[in-house]
């Protein structure tokens, strides 16, 4: 059975030493975000996730959720409801929420390590509170004052949970095709009718009410995406004064039988004239939807990091314990019957791959979170705008790369176990199965790639890329005379320059052929991700080499960074070649000939 302990030392190194979070929080006006408070939060989060959630991970996988067809109700796995009650009692649901609505008002950044720990301990359980944050953000930014008063407080204190009801049986990514209807009623509410699928936590027994954020069309809606509106539609009707009434006319039609995350319920939700309220302006639902979606995408990226971390911990433990054969250079442990497999180069290749991608991803995720705090709280308007632009650029990179790397990392970790990784008892196959969904929901990897290449690069004249490259150049310039960092600074600068050149080339070709955006997008996404992590590994080494860090940390960061630059960063060579090859190799074959 797999185990998990929060990697507090690396989280603190990333948060305090590399990112300078204490000084940042003070500058942004977070008076309560002192180091002792942050440390207390991290320690208690580690205790809760390690002692309460982690033991339930296999329970959720083995037993799963149960659906009662007659009552349309869902029962969560044993222990899930009690764990959620402890989560609420501990105040975790409102950790980073605004104090005016009952939250603790701590920095958004502090929610990142909490959510990483939750995802590592029990990904399926973590899906139940996950989307509440997106619902809160959508209502906070787009809801009317009474909607904020009535819905935000119970969502933030955990009495209710939230969902995102977007996908329909006939349309997923192309929401312009959705058919769910919203008919106006005399009392100012709307009757919502339609079917939504793949709704995470659409029905469960953890809370008394569930707040569904539903995309639907008004009777006068124009066709396509410009005719979509957003409605808040609770399981139990909620009046404008906050009083809860009768059961709404919506129900769970069925739950999905999935490859992984079996402790998380994924529902078909049927709305039959259910009472809902318009959120924001008519036909402007996509704007509110992207508020939810971007929050969820960063959250799913954290799922990838959590799974990678847990997989690494268990593979490392096994590699240290498993005795098999001898080192190719001669016995390393002659007093034992054989050497542990960690002495073998290929096992070390897999472990270092997981370690380098996971620790680098942690910094990427925390950096994105600090940008959100800056975008919301910095005094300077230009700083806020730049932070918002940069986090928008990094969001598809974070979501897609961190989840695709989770698939790779859990595969490598399972492989370290040999045949033992394939059987249920060690828990590694569950991590591999759970990881697979993360590349699919909240926008597939292909969708993230198109978002990065199209919306976040071509449509903005590469505004986010320019900001990130400026940060890279500032770091390189500040350290170009440091002999200890030259092995990282020079290749980082080269890759940054090539990244800019590749971007210009794709955009130039796209001006003549729009297919070039789609043809380049996948490889451009991963090229970007590997360069971003190269920057964070260079920053990690520069930080670790400062006085005050112990030798073990310095050596670990230095050697892992060397592995990353030597063995992982060269993946960009293949991605660059694919980008340069253009659209023709992909588009030349007639679709009728694919089966020939």
The CA distance from 231 to 163, in Å, is 12
Task: Classify burial at 511, counting beta carbons within 10 Å of its beta carbon; exposed 0-12, middle 13-18, buried 19 or more.
Answer: exposed
Cβ pair 457, 33 in contact under 8 A? no
Rg (CA), the chain: 24
Residue 116 near residue 135 (C-beta atoms within 8 A): no
**Residue in 409, 371, 424, 336 with CA at minimum distance from that of residue 532:** 371
In sequence order, which ranges of 322-380 are alpha helices (DSSP H)?
345-377
User: CA of 393: how far to CAs of 303, 398, 469, 503, 545, in Å?
Assistant: 19, 9, 12, 14, 30
Do 45 and 112 touch, CB atoms closer than 8 A? Answer: no
Distance CA 444, CA 594 (A): 23
Place of tokens 């005016």: 100
Parallel, antiparallel or unpaired: strands 209-216 and 160-165: parallel
Q: Is 382 exposed, middle or buried (0-12, 13-18, 19+ CB in 10 A)?
A: exposed
Angle between helices 345-377 and 551-563 (to 10 degrees): 100
User: Considering 408, 442, 515, 555, which one is annotated as catalytic?
Assistant: 442
Tokens representing 469 are 């490259």
Both tokens of residue 198?
Answer: 């793949």
Sequence-distant (6+) residues with CB within 8 A of 280 are 142, 143, 229, 230, 287, 288
442 is catalytic: yes
Asked if residue 269 lies in contact with residue 252, where contact means CB atoms within 8 angstroms, the answer is yes
What residues contact 536, with CB distance under 8 A and at least 6 apart?
A: 18, 360, 363, 364, 367
What share of residues in the chain are helix, strand, coil (percent, to 5)? 60, 10, 25
Interacting residues of 595 by C-beta distance below 8 A, sequence separation 6+: none
Residues marked active site are found at 442
């Amino acid at each position: 059975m797999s185990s998990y302990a929060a990697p507090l030392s690396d989280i603190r190194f990333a948060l305090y030493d590399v990112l300078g979070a204490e000084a940042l929080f003070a500058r942004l006006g977070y008076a309560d975000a002192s180091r002792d408070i942050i440390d207390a939060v991290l320690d208690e989060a580690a205790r809760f996730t390690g002692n309460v959630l982690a033991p339930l991970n296999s329970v959720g996988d083995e037993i799963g959720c149960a659906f009662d067809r007659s009552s349309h109700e869902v029962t969560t796995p044993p222990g899930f409801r009690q764990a959620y009650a402890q989560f609420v009692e501990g105040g975790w649901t409102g950790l980073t929420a605004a104090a005016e609505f009952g939250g603790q008002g701590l920095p958004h950044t502090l929610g990142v390590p909490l959510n990483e720990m939750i995802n590592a301990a029990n990904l399926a359980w973590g899906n139940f509170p996950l989307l509440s944050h997106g619902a809160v953000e959508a209502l906070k930014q787009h809801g009317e004052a009474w909607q904020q008063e009535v819905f935000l407080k119970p969502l933030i204190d955990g009495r209710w949970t939230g969902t995102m009801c977007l996908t329909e049986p006939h349309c997923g990514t192309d929401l312009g095709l959705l058919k769910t209807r919203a008919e106006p009623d005399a009392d100012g509410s709307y009757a919502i009718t339609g079917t939504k699928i793949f709704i995470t936590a659409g029905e469960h027994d953890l809370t008394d009410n569930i707040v569904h954020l539903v995309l639907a069309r008004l009777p006068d809606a124009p066709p396509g995406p410009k005719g979509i509106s957003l409605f808040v539609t609770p399981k139990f009707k909620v009046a404008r004064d906050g009083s809860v009434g009768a059961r709404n006319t919506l129900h769970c039609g069925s739950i999905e039988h999935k490859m992984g995350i079996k402790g998380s319920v994924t529902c078909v939700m049927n709305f039959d004239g259910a009472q809902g309220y318009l959120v924001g302006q008519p036909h402007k639902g996509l704007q509110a939807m992207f508020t939810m979606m971007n929050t969820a995408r960063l959250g799913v990226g954290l799922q990838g990091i959590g799974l990678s971390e847990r997989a690494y911990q268990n593979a490392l433990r096994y590699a240290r314990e498993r005795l098999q054969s001898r080192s190719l250079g001669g016995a390393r442990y002659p007093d034992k019957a054989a050497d542990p497999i960690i002495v073998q180069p290929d096992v070390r290749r897999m472990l270092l791959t997981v370690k380098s991608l996971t620790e680098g991803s942690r910094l990427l995720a925390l950096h994105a979170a600090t940008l959100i705090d800056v975008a919301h709280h910095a005094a300077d308007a230009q700083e806020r705008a730049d932070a918002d632009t940069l986090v928008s650029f990094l969001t598809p990179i974070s979501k897609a790369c961190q989840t695709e790397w989770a698939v790779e990392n859990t595969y490598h970790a399972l492989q370290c176990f040999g045949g033992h990784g394939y059987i249920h008892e060690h828990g590694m196959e569950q991590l591999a199965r759970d990881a697979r969904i993360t590349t699919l929901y909240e926008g597939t990897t292909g969708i993230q790639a198109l978002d990065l290449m199209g919306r976040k690069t071509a449509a903005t004249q590469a505004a986010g890329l320019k900001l990130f490259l400026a940060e890279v150049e500032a770091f390189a310039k500040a350290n170009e005379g440091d002999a200890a960092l030259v092995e990282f600074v020079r290749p980082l600068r080269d890759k940054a320059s090539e990244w800019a050149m590749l971007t210009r080339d794709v955009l130039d070709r796209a001006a003549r052929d729009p297919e070039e955006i789609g043809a380049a997008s996948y490889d451009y996404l991963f090229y970007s991700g590997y360069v971003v992590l190269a920057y964070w590994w260079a920053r990690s080494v520069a930080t670790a080499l400062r006085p005050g860090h112990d030798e073990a940390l310095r050596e670990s960061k230095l050697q892992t960074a060397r592995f990353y630059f030597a063995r992982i960063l060269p993946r960009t060579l293949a991605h660059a070649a694919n980008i340069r090859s253009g659209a023709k190799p992909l588009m030349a074959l007639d679709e009728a000939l694919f089966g020939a």
